[in-house]
Amino acid sequence: MGVVDWLRRLVGGRTPVDRGIYYYVRCDKCGEKIRFRVDPLWDLSPVYEGEDQASGYVVTKRVVGQKCFRPIEVSLTFDRNRKESGRSVTGGHLISAEEFAAEEP
């Protein structure tokens, strides 16, 4: 740990680390691209299958854009290591970060 880091810690000025995972969806109706964030610690609900330990996690997000206000429902499933294992989207579809950033033709 360098002196600067030590001083920073001393004054409590830590840089917050964003642990969120960002996803990008496109609305099937109006084509709007919307970004949303999943917090792997707060948003995930454990799934129990007769075990004491969670066998996986699930998160459902309702994403609403600015254009048509039609909610897009995104369900993501994660394994017990909080790695994504499945996704389903109603009212839209997931796109890549590159697609999200690309200029519309």
Nearer of residues 70 and 82 to Zn ion, judged by Cβ: 70
Q: Where are the beta strands (DSSP E) in 5-102?
A: 21-27, 33-38, 45-47, 56-63, 72-79, 84-90, 92-95
The binder of Zn ion chosen from 23, 25, 26, 27 (CB under 5 A):
27
CA distance 39 to 60: 12
Taken as a whole, the chain contains a residue count of 105
Q: Which two tokens stand for residue 18?
A: 């964003």
Nearer of residues 58 and 100 to Zn ion, judged by Cβ: 100
Indicate the pairing of strand 92-95 with strand 84-90: unpaired
Least separation, in Å, of the C-beta of 84 and Zn ion?
24
The binder of Zn ion chosen from 56, 65, 76, 78 (CB under 5 A):
65
By the rule CB under 5 A, 33 interacts with Zn ion:
no
Least separation, in Å, of the C-beta of 69 and Zn ion?
7
Nearer of residues 82 and 93 to Zn ion, judged by Cβ: 93
Least separation, in Å, of the C-beta of 49 and Zn ion?
36
Short-list 59, 63, 73, CA closest to 33: 63
